[in-house]
Amino acid sequence: MKQYVVGVDVGGTNIKLGVVGPSGLVLVRNSFATKPFASSRIKLISALAHEIEASIISAGLTKKQIVGVGIGLPGLVDYEKGVVRFLPNIPGWSNVHLKSILQNKIKLSVFVDNDVKIITLAESTFGAGRGVKNLICMTLGTGVGAGLILNGQLYRGEDNAAGELGHMPLNEHGPKCNCGGYGCFERYVGNRALLDLSSRVMGIPMTTEAIFALAKKGNKKALFFWKTAAEHIGNGLVGIVNLLNPRLIIIGGGVSHNEKFLFKTVTDTIRRRAMSLQGSAFKIKRAKFKDDAGIIGAYVLVTNAQR
Determine the residue type at 99.
K
Nearer to Zn ion, 117 or 167 (CB): 167
Of 123, 130, 170, which is closest to residue 287 (Cα–Cα)?
123
- Shortest spacing between CB 243 and Zn ion, in angstroms: 18
> How many residues contact Zn ion, by CB under 5 A?
5
- Shortest spacing between CB 297 and Zn ion, in angstroms: 24
Nearer to Zn ion, 179 or 202 (CB): 179
- Shortest spacing between CB 113 and Zn ion, in angstroms: 21
SS3 letters across 145-188: EEEEEECCEEECCCCCCCCCHHHCECCCCCCECCCCCECECHHH
- Exposure string of 145-171, with b = 16+ CB inside 10 Å and e = fewer, is bbbbbeeeebbbeeebebbbbbbbebe
Nearer to Zn ion, 32 or 182 (CB): 182
Nearer to Zn ion, 21 or 169 (CB): 169
Compute the distance between CA of residue 109 and CA of residue 2 in angstroms, rounded to an integer.
Answer: 12
Determine the residue type at 223.
L
Nearer to Zn ion, 21 or 183 (CB): 183
**Binding to Zn ion in span 142-201, by CB under 5 A:** 167, 177, 179, 181, 184
**Binding to Zn ion in span 33-92, by CB under 5 A:** none
Contact 71, 79 (CB under 8 A): no
- Shortest spacing between CB 179 and Zn ion, in angstroms: 3
Give me the residues that bind Zn ion (CB under 5 A), please: 167, 177, 179, 181, 184
